[in-house]
Amino acid sequence: MRPPPSLTRRLIVDLSYMQLIAIVVAWLGTTALGGLGIVGANDYWLDEFYSYYYIRDLVLQSIVRDADGTLHIEPNETLRDEMRRTPTLRYAALESMRGPALRGSSEDISAALIGITSVETRGLDFFFISDAGRRTAASAWRWKAPTGPLFIASGGMTFNWKDVVYAFRNELVSQSLYLAVVFSVSAAVAWLAVRRSLAPLRRAAEAAERIDLESLGQGLCVDDAPSEIRPLVDAVNRTLKRLDASVARMRRYTANAAHQLRTPVAILRARLENPEERGFRVDLQRDTRRIQLIVEQMLVAARLTEGQASPDRDLDLSAVARGIVADYSPLIFKARRRIAFEAPTAPVALRSNRVAIECALANLIDNALRAEPEGGTVLVRVGADRTIRVIDHGEGIDEKHRELIFEPFWRRSDEAPGNGLGLAIVQELIEMLGGRIGVATTPGGGATFVMSFPTRLRDALDEDAHAQL
């Protein structure tokens, strides 16, 4: 498998390429501006100087050594073509600035160089005056030649753009060591800069390595994350929060199963050991119904959480509630209590998940049954506004506890039946269906739980997603 591409290497290579392009563009730009006389000293930066490298090479190629060891210039064919093309072209070669020019050099430029005897120099740009009084720009520089070091002078060339390219190529070759050092230092500086800039990303990766199921909610540190990677870190943190919430729900469901299944299974086992007991069949039905309810709650909640629940369907809310009330009637009568049901004559249309509504309502009825005094009546009322009210006449719920009752594992006291997970799961189911659940005081005493549903489950989920955006 090929290793993944390195962002650091890519950035360094891109920066190096950009620097090379910048050098070329800057050189060409200053060359063009200098040739137009926009930049540079007055009368100094002239386009004729860019022709020097080309004429220099032609002159060096035309150096010939005589039999006696002296050197002279014998123009080759290319140099003669340039002289025919540019009659003002002048050139000279000297072994020393203090000595005479080689035979074959142009007389006027040689005469101008003979006067420079008081200084030693590697080269210079200058002007010389022709016999006709014409002021001509020229250059003379010392170069290594096959015949030994020589000063090559030239001037009077006519500007041509190919000379700019030729000059740039020569500058590039002559400055190759300098450019190599510049690129090496730049690459090292770029590597340090990129590595320093990516340090927050590496720290975030190290923090991600330490995350497990116990620390999902902590997320990644984003305090020093650059703005370019902040959206990625924020997206990862939102994902971790969703995972943490899912893990917490799964743990609640596991705890709910462990606590709620343990008691009915133990009771069921005890009843099976004494099948001759009076009311055996009714008690057995109640126990199996409770176990079935717990299992269905866990399955439906898990499927809704993972988006795997069955599609929403057209329902009659009154018919759904009536079926649950009918299922619970034998158990309520056995507990010496009654249950009443009220609903509109017309169907209450709803598009939602039937099993989830049944599980939530069954849990509320079971909760009301424990709160209702012996001989009392639990009332289930379906409203035309797509609401279900489960009303009991027990002790009721204090105002200060109404927000706490939906918290997982909350119970009014240690003596209270259950494990404090039923109402938390009901709230989670209803909210996953896009509905709401609340509690109020029953007139005369007791608690009234109200579940309200939207017209369509899909509409509610879309509204929640839009609100989050």
CATH number of the domain enclosing 356: 3.30.565.10
Cα distance between residue 91 and residue 103, in whole Å: 11
The predicted structure's pLDDT at residue 77: 93
Structural domain total, the chain = 2
Sign of CA dihedral 184, 190, 193, 199: negative
Question: What is the model's pTM?
Answer: 0.44
Q: What distance lies between CA 371 and its chain's CA centroid?
A: 52
Amino acid type, 159 = F
The predicted structure's pLDDT at residue 312: 64
Structure tokens at 207: 């923090």
If phi over 0 gives left and psi between -120 and 50 gives alpha, with beta otherwise, what is residue 444?
left
Average pLDDT over residues 67-76: 90
Pair 231, 239: CB distance under 8 Å:
no
- 273 occurs within a structural domain: no
Backbone angles phi, psi at 262, to 5 degrees: -60, -45
Please, what is the angle between helix 176-197 and helix 161-174, to 10°? Answer: 70
Of 145, 180, 215, the residue at which a domain comes to its end is 180
Instruction: pLDDT band for 237, please (50, 70, 90 cuts).
Output: confident
- 217 occurs within a structural domain: no
Burial of 236 (0-12, 13-18, 19+ CB in 10 A): middle
The predicted structure's pLDDT at residue 38: 59
- 196 occurs within a structural domain: no
The predicted structure's pLDDT at residue 467: 45
Of 375, 327, 326, 319, nearest to 344 by C-alpha is 319
Per-residue DSSP letters for 246-293?
HHHHHHHHHHHHHHHHHHHHHHHHHHHT-TTSTTHHHHHHHHHHHHHH
Burial track 193-231 (b if 16+ CB lie within 10 A, e otherwise): ebeeebebbeebeebeeebeeeebeebbeeeebeeeeee
The predicted structure's pLDDT at residue 10: 76
Structure tokens at 437: 């659940």
111 vs 46, more confident = 111
Report whether pLDDT(4) > 70: no
- 359 occurs within a structural domain: yes
Please, what is the angle between helix 280-305 and helix 317-334, to 10°? Answer: 140
Cα distance between residue 104 and residue 95, in whole Å: 14
- 144 occurs within a structural domain: yes
- 110 occurs within a structural domain: yes
Structure tokens at 272: 């099976």
Instruction: pLDDT band for 230, please (50, 70, 90 cuts).
Output: confident
Of 180, 204, 235, the residue at which a domain comes to its end is 180
Domain extent at residue 436 = 309-468
- 65 occurs within a structural domain: yes
Cα distance between residue 366 and residue 363, in whole Å: 5
Of 151, 180, 209, the residue at which a domain comes to its end is 180
Average pLDDT, the chain: 77
* Co-location of 15 and 159 in the same domain: yes
Per-residue CA distances from 213 to 245, 270, 301 (Å): 11, 38, 20
Instruction: Give pLDDT tens digits for 362-401.
Output: 888 888 888 899 999 999 999 999 999 999 999 888 887 7
Cα distance between residue 448 and residue 443, in whole Å: 9
Of 358, 360, 353, 356, nearest to 310 by C-alpha is 353
The predicted structure's pLDDT at residue 400: 78
For residue 438, what are the β-bridge partners?
450
- 405 occurs within a structural domain: yes
* Co-location of 322 and 462 in the same domain: yes
Alpha helices in 50-155 (DSSP H): 52-61, 77-85, 107-114
Report whether pLDDT(20) > 90: no
If phi over 0 gives left and psi between -120 and 50 gives alpha, with beta otherwise, what is residue 133?
left
78 vs 216, more confident = 78
Instruction: Give pLDDT tens digits for 409-427.
Output: 666 655 545 555 678 778 8
CATH of the domain at 108: 3.30.450
Average pLDDT over residues 189-201: 77
